[in-house]
Amino acid sequence: MNDMITRMHRAKLVPAIISIAFGIALIITRRGAMDVAVKIAAVMLMVAGAGCILMYFFGPAKQDSMQLGIGGIIALGGVLVWVFSKTLVDLFPIFTGISIVLNGLSNLTVLSESDGDGVTKVLVFIFSALMIAGGIFIAFHPASVENTLLLIMGICYILNGAFDLLLMYRVKQILLH
């Protein structure tokens, strides 16, 4: 039982703390935090690509040319993310708007396939329409929503980390009693 709690703490504690810290950083230094997050993602891609390439040459498994190619593509992707990090940060609200529009459209397709009651269908339609309208607004007016979007993201990261910590605490209480 204690081994399970220890594994859960290892798996959840550090990501929960990082999530809270990143959320706070997003709220305090919105633009700067996004720049740092994109740079971290670039470094992670470069390291992962280099790892694949090194595994090709020095790994215990047989050499697979696919692994070498994928490693090169991942590493190149990391370099491109690093070089174009400012552009990616600028495009982030646009990508967010597009994903919200696509989510709203997918909700509408589910609506057409479901056999739910009339009230549920009306609510799904209203929420889908609002999501599509909001996503279009975000995609076409990214500068006006960037600060708000980053603030909301920061709050979501803090809540995610706090809920993970609360979950760990509650699971530990349940398992120990």
Domains of the chain: total: 1
CA distance 14 to 11: 7
Span 43-48, mean pLDDT? 93
Residue 113's pLDDT is what? 66
CA distance 28 to 128: 32
Name the token pair of 121: 């269908």
* Between 6 and 66, the higher pLDDT residue: 66
Domain holding 104, by residue range, is 2-176
Task: Indicate the average pLDDT of the chain.
Answer: 82
Amino acid (one-letter) located at 134: G
CA distance 104 to 124: 9
Residue 174's pLDDT is what? 73
For residue 101, the tally of other CB atoms under 10 A from its CB is 19
DSSP per position, 25-89:
HHHHSHHHHHHHHHHHHHHHHHHHHHHHHHHHHH-SSPP-HHHHHHHHHHHHHHHHHHHTHHHHH
CA distance 148 to 114: 34
Task: Please name the residues in contact with 156: beta carbons below 8 A apart, sequence gap of 6 or more.
Answer: 23
Q: How does pLDDT run across 140-152, given as a tens digit for each residue? A: 888 777 778 778 8
Name the token pair of 81: 């993310």
* Between 79 and 131, the higher pLDDT residue: 79
Position 114 pLDDT exceeds 70: no
Amino acid (one-letter) located at 63: Q
